[in-house]
Structure 1
Amino acid sequence: MIGFSRLSLIAAVATVSAQLQQPLFIPSEHVLETEHTGSKPLVDTESLQARITTENLFKRADALYDIAKSSEEHFNHPTRVIGSEGHRKTLEYVASEIEKLGDYYKFSTQPFPAVMGQVFQSRLVLGHSVPESAYPMSLTPPTSGKEPVYADLVLVGNVGCEASDYPEDVSGKIAFIRRGTCSFGAKSELAGAAGAVAAVIYNSEAGGLSGTLGTPSPNHVATFGLSGKEAEPVVEKLKAGDVVDSIAFIDSVVNTINTTNIIIQTVEGDPDNCVMVGGHSDSVSDGPGINDDGSGSLTLLEVATQLTHYSVKNCVRFAWWAGEEEGLLGSDYYVATLPDEENMKIRLFMDYDMMGSPNFAYQVYNATNAVNPTGSEQLRDLYVDWYTSKGLNYTFIPFDGRSDYDAFIRNGIPGGGIATGAEGIKTKEEELMFGGKAGDWYDPCYHQLCDDIGNVNATAWLVNTQLVAHSVATFAASFEGFPKREAAKAASVYEEETLYHGRYLVR
Structure 2
Amino acid sequence: MNVPSRHPVPSPGRAPVARRLAAGGATAALVLGFGLAPGTAHADESVLPTLVTTDKIRAHMENLQTIADYNGGNRASATAGYDVAAKYVINQLERAGYTPVKHTYEYDSWAENSPAVLTQTAPEKREFTPADDFVTMSYSGAGDTTAPGVPVNADSAESGCAADDFAGFPEGAVAITLRGTCPFSEKTQNAADAGASGVVVINNEPGPLNGTVGTESAVPVVGVTPEVGAELLAAGEGLELRLAVDAAVTTRSSYNIIAESAGGAPDNTVVVGAHLDGVPEGAGINDNGSGTAAVLETARQFARLDTPNNQVRFAFWGTEEEGLVGSTRYVEGLSDDELEQIALYLNFDMIGSENFGRFVYDGRGELDGSLPPPAGSAAIQKLFEDYFTGQDLVSEPTEFSGRSDYSAFMEAGVPSGGLFSGADGIKTEEQVEYYGGVAGEPYDANYHTADDRVDEINWDAVEDLSDAIAHSVETYADSTLPVNGVASTQQAQEFEADRLGDRWLR
Range of TM-score over shorter length:
0.7 to 0.9
Q: Which residue of 2 aligns with 1:85?
A: 80
TM norm structure 2: 0.85
Q: What SS does the corresponding residue of 1:286 show, helix, strand or coil?
A: coil
The amino acid that maps onto 1:244 is L
CA deviations 1:358-387 (Å, max 9, x no partner) are: 111111111117831111000000000000
Residue in structure 1 matching 2:104, options 89, 106, 111: 111
- Contact 1:412–1:487 (CA<8 Å) still a contact in 2? no
- Counterpart of 1:63 in structure 2 is 63
CA distance in 2, matches of 1:244, 1:71: 47
1:435 is displaced (CA, Å) by 0.4
| Higher RCO structure, 1 or 2 (CA under 8 Å, sep 6+) | 2
Counterpart amino acid of residue 226 in structure 1: V
State the 1:51 CA deviation.
Answer: 0.8
Kept in 2: contact 1:156–1:167 (CA 8 A) = no
Give the drift of 1:206: 5.6
Does residue 391 in structure 1 map to residue 385 in structure 2? no
Q: Is the 8 A contact 2:117 2:244 kept in 1?
A: yes
Deviation at 1:189, TM superposition (A): 2.6
Could you tell me which runs of 5 or more consecutive residues in structure 1 were left unpaired when the two chains were aligned: 1-37, 73-77
2:150 corresponds, among 135, 147, 154, to 154
Equivalent residue for 2:329, pick from 316, 327, 333: 333
How far apart in 2 are the matches of 1:430 and 1:231?
Answer: 33
The alpha-carbon deviation at position 275 of structure 1 amounts to 0.8
Q: CA deviation at 1:400?
A: 0.9
Say yes or no: does 1:453 pair with 2:446.
no
Instruction: Tell me the amino acid that sits aligned with residue 101 of structure 2.
Output: S
The 1:480–1:167 alpha-carbon spacing in structure 2 relative to 1, beyond 3 Å, is closer
Pairwise CA distance, 1:39: 5.4
The match for 1:345 is 341
| Residue-by-residue CA offset, 1:65-118 (whole Å, 9 max, x unaligned) | 11112332xxxxx1111111101111111111111122xx34221111122222
Work out whether residues 373 and 400 of structure 2, in 8 Å CA contact, stay in contact via their aligned partners in 1.
no
> How far did residue 207 of structure 1 move?
4.9
Q: Is the 2:377–2:483 contact (alpha carbons within 8 Å) kept by the matching residues of 1? A: no
Separation in 1 of the partners of 2:147 and 2:311?
A: 59
Q: Structure 2: how far apart are the matches of 1:71 and 1:171? A: 48
Alignment of 1:61-460 (within 5 A): 61-72=61-72, 78-102=73-97, 105-119=98-112, 120-126=114-120, 127=122, 128-131=125-128, 132-143=132-143, 148-157=144-153, 158-205=158-205, 207-217=207-217, 219=218, 221-238=219-236, 242-310=237-305, 311-368=307-364, 371-460=372-461
Q: Which has the higher helix share?
A: 1
* 1:279, distance to aligned residue in structure 2 (A): 0.4
Q: Is the 8 A contact 2:344 2:483 kept in 1?
A: no
Q: Is the 8 A contact 1:49 1:470 kept in 2?
A: yes
CA–CA separation in structure 2 for the residues paired with 1:48 and 1:169: 63
Q: Percent identity?
A: 33
Q: Supply the distance in 2 between the matched residues of 1:236 and 1:405 (Cα, whole angstroms).
A: 42
What is the DSSP-based 3-state SS (H/G/I as helix, E as strand, rest coil) of the residue aligned with 1:71? Answer: coil
Q: What SS does the aligned partner of 1:99 have?
A: helix
TM-score when normalising by structure 1: 0.84
Larger deviation, residues 482-491 vs 463-472: 482-491
Is 2:308–2:477's contact at 8 Å kept on the other side of the alignment? Answer: yes
| Residue identity matched to 1:174 | V
Q: Is the 8 A contact 1:296 1:354 kept in 2?
A: yes
- CA drift of 1:122 comes to 1.3
1:251-279 Cα shifts (integer Å, max 9, x gaps): 22322210001111112000011111100
Q: How far off its partner does 1:180 sit?
A: 2.0
C-alpha displacement at 1:409, in angstroms? 0.8
Backbone CA RMSD of aligned residues: 2.1
CA contact (8 A) 1:115 1:326 kept: no
